[in-house]
Amino acid sequence: MFEFTNDVVKDNAKFLSNRGVTLPTFSEMKNPCNIPEPIKLMLKEVELDAVHPLNLYRITWKNEPVKLGGGFQLLPNILEFPPELTGVKSRIIGLSGKFFPTGAHKVGSSLACLIPRIISGELDLQHNFAVWPSTGNFCRGGAFNSAIMGCHSISVLPENMSKERFDWLNNISGEVITTLGSESNVKEIYDRVNQLRMERNNVVVFNQFCDFWNYLWHYEVTASTFLDLFNSIKGDTERFAGICLSSGSSGTLGCADAIKDVYPSVKLAVGEALQCPTLLMNGYGEHTIEGIGDKHVPWIHNVRNTDMIVGIDDNHCKEIFKLFNLPAGHEYLKSIGINDSIIQKLNWCGISGIANLCLAIKFSKYYELTSNDIVFTILTDSTEMYQSKLLEEDYNLFDAQIAYLVFLQGLKTDYIDELTYKDKKRIHNLKYYTWVEQQGMSVEELDRQWHDPHYWKKIQLSTKKIDESIQEFNNNI
């Protein structure tokens, strides 16, 4: 992949050298203990969110949960939701994305998409524009990493995403382009990106929905983090019951493929908004869970490895969001015995993190899980990006007790599909319309995704040499 004789690669290396940038390896992202000591020392002076070259080394789940000068931990930051809150016996544990630079885990996928293009010369940092189409945090991550590398970025996202996202992007991204609609309007983003390709001849598009480096970052880094965590808590009785994730680009789902290699009985449950039930019933619609449910099946979703689809009502997420964030909600939770240390961490849950929690609860109810069962999920970002959504609500109408009842009565075993072979094939076949008809993928490749077990293996093995290439590139910086 890496050719130091290529002029663009040489220019990229020189350009990064002048900016003081070196690239982290996948091994360092998995285990930041491997990061050289001098870098760790210098990080003591750097804020978590600073557009600073050393913050590339903070693209890991294992950052210390502090805003300035944090080091690294052996394990990720987690929030375990107690049964008094969830109403189920299983141990539901969320990995927190809040302590990545940008405050969201997608910064990892975006870096994984960027690195191979830099070291292969596919992206010329000084002359190309990096285009980041997204409905959630992927374009924030892309804009952040591009800014560190000194590459002009263009973020493309729907106009109705949260105000905080736009405020943030307007500070960091080279350009911000809005498209019509909201969360589920991905087709409009694709159309705008295709138009951009015709208008400017220097754009390199990072399409997270079909970019296997998005999948691979989670296959490598997120999966190994979950496995480290499970190894640290497993005793004689604990079972790794499931991994519950809602899908946007479906990159995060990639972690389940690696986890199933180690624990084949682990189930992958995938969530989407009930208001836009594409996987559940080929449906469409509008919903308010930013970052997920984009009205199509991403190319990088390994549907054969998905065991269950769960519809999550976005109204439930909104109620829980208020419960987790309003003072009246906190008082109520205290009154029912929820520990203060948990209440203080509830702002680790953004809206899609709450959707993931709802999914894990429905999953636990469906399989009648017990206190021996561990269900893992991801708290993608935090409340930081959604304060304006709270302000839109009429606090006077908020009743914390009713909101709490969502856990006990609202979250049921409805809108769940435990997938048969035919169900999986139906979902896989939906890819045809987006990817073959609209986006130019071949039907042969679509068929290989389904029939050829080597298809996914080959992709998974493509990270094998990446660290060597990154190191070699760094040596030439």
Q: Which residues bind ligand PLP (CB under 6 A)?
A: 106, 136-138, 247-252, 290-292, 350, 352, 380-381
Residue closer to ligand PLP by CB (options 119, 358) is 358
CA–CA gap between residue 359 and residue 84 (Å, rounded): 17
CA–CA gap between residue 279 and residue 210 (Å, rounded): 17
245 in Cβ contact with 271 (< 8 Å) = yes
CA–CA gap between residue 375 and residue 361 (Å, rounded): 9
Q: What angle do CA 97, 150, 464 make, to 5 degrees?
A: 60
Least distance (Å) between residue 287 CB and ligand PLP: 12
DSSP state of 218: I
Least distance (Å) between residue 139 CB and ligand PLP: 8
Residue 434 burial by CB count (10 A; 0-12/13-18/19+): exposed, middle or buried?
Answer: buried
Residue closer to ligand PLP by CB (options 76, 121) is 76
Least distance (Å) between residue 168 CB and ligand PLP: 12
Least distance (Å) between residue 100 CB and ligand PLP: 12
Q: What angle do CA 174, 292, 193 make, to 5 degrees?
A: 40
Residue closer to ligand PLP by CB (options 91, 106) is 106
Residue closer to ligand PLP by CB (options 119, 276) is 276
Give the CA distances from residue 295 to residues 137, 246, 282, 352, 404, in Å, rounded to whole numbers and listed in that order: 17, 13, 8, 16, 30
Residue closer to ligand PLP by CB (options 8, 320) is 320
CB atoms within 10 A of CB 86: 21
Least distance (Å) between residue 296 CB and ligand PLP: 12
Least distance (Å) between residue 169 CB and ligand PLP: 13
Residue closer to ligand PLP by CB (options 76, 136) is 136
Locate 194 and state its tokens. 């295709």
Least distance (Å) between residue 408 CB and ligand PLP: 25
Residue closer to ligand PLP by CB (options 384, 399) is 384
184 in Cβ contact with 294 (< 8 Å) = yes
- Bridge partners (DSSP) listed for residue 96: 379
Q: Order of strands across the sheet with 153-158?
A: 175-179, 153-158, 129-133, 203-205
In sequence order, what are the residues at sequence separation of 6 or more whose Cβ sits closer than 8 angstroms to the Cβ of residue 261?
none
Report helix, strand and coil shares of the chain as percent, to nearest 5. Answer: 50, 15, 35
CB atoms within 10 A of CB 33: 12
Residue closer to ligand PLP by CB (options 2, 81) is 81
Residue closer to ligand PLP by CB (options 88, 107) is 107
Residue closer to ligand PLP by CB (options 157, 266) is 157
Residue closer to ligand PLP by CB (options 13, 244) is 244
Least distance (Å) between residue 252 CB and ligand PLP: 3
Residue closer to ligand PLP by CB (options 30, 239) is 30
Least distance (Å) between residue 384 CB and ligand PLP: 11
Give the CA distances from residue 449 to residues 95, 212, 465, in Å, rounded to whole numbers and listed in that order: 29, 13, 23
CA–CA gap between residue 75 and residue 62 (Å, rounded): 6
Least distance (Å) between residue 143 CB and ligand PLP: 13
Least distance (Å) between residue 385 CB and ligand PLP: 7
Least distance (Å) between residue 69 CB and ligand PLP: 27
What is the chain's length?
477
Nearest of 374, 345, 385, 325 to residue 78 by alpha carbon: 345
Nearest of 379, 391, 389 to residue 165 by alpha carbon: 389
CA–CA gap between residue 323 and residue 90 (Å, rounded): 21
Give me the amino acid identity at 457: K
Q: Order of strands across the sheet with 308-312?
A: 78-81, 91-96, 373-379, 239-246, 267-273, 308-312, 416-418
3-class DSSP state for residue 80? strand
